[in-house]
Amino acid sequence: MEAAQKIRHAVATVSLLRERGEHQPALALAVARVKRFQARRFAGSYSDLLASREYAAAARFFLEELYSDKDYAERDAQFARIAGAIERFFPQDVVATSVALAELHALTEGLDQAVAGSWLAAQDEQAQEPGLYVRSWRAVGRRGDRELQLETVLEIGREMARLTRMPGLRLMLKMMRGPAAAANLGSLQRFLETGFDTFAAMAKRTGGAERFLETIRERESALIAMLFDTELVACETELARILGQVR
């Protein structure tokens, strides 16, 4: 399958998953709660980075563009529209990263939907969100997919850091602003420029991007192990502690 087809397939997969919510309002609400919980958990896990001068922008980018509960439908549609242009005009490394981003989005949406289905089945009036979240993940399983999700995020991060050193790429993005605005591709353009500039700023500091991504790897790997291996009460308590760090 060519790169453009892979991007369009991933975007279509996300769209189909979201359409389920149009016919199952309770599931749609559960998906929104799961996404909101995960965004709060990320903000708590990385409260130190979000407050730091060195990594605040990078942590904010991850929170808002990868772990957020925002609706990315507009950006997805724009991504699918220019998939062919990405494949034709950008360097192969950029194309491969674009495909990875699209496929990561589809994997993430699928996991969120699965967890939300278990969340919906398990919840009751007395249940607290940390406990619901842990029980939902354990009911779904799919630890391998959760680990793949993390590794894909890290690989994209490594590639983005490397791409910022590619001569002419930032100029190419800047030259896209006018055509992007004319074609109503503003959401995608902002995402691309913000991501590039965020990683470019880290890459200017020796080992900056590597330290940031290693922190993500360590904390997310620990979270995965906790979700699947730790006693339920201990896991719930730790998640509640993490959420308590969110301001």
User: Taking the domains of the chain in order of start, what are their residue ranges?
Assistant: 3-243
pLDDT at 42 > cutoff 70: yes
Mean pLDDT to the nearest integer, 144-170: 87
Q: What Å distances lie between residue 16 and 147, 155, 218, CA to CA?
A: 24, 26, 33
Angle between helices 143-163 and 208-229 (to 10 degrees): 170
In this structure, of 32-36, 58-62, 135-139, the range with the lowest mean pLDDT score is: 58-62
d(CA 183, CA 13): 24
Mean of pLDDT over the chain: 85
d(CA 215, CA 202): 14
| Contact (Cβ atoms closer than 8 angstroms) between residue 115 and residue 33 | no
In this structure, of 71-75, 109-113, 174-178, the range with the lowest mean pLDDT score is: 174-178
- Work out the end-to-end distance of the chain between its first and last CA atoms, rounded to an integer number of angstroms: 45
pTM for the model stands at: 0.88
Question: What does the block give as tokens for 196?
Answer: 């590039």
pLDDT at 81 > cutoff 90: no
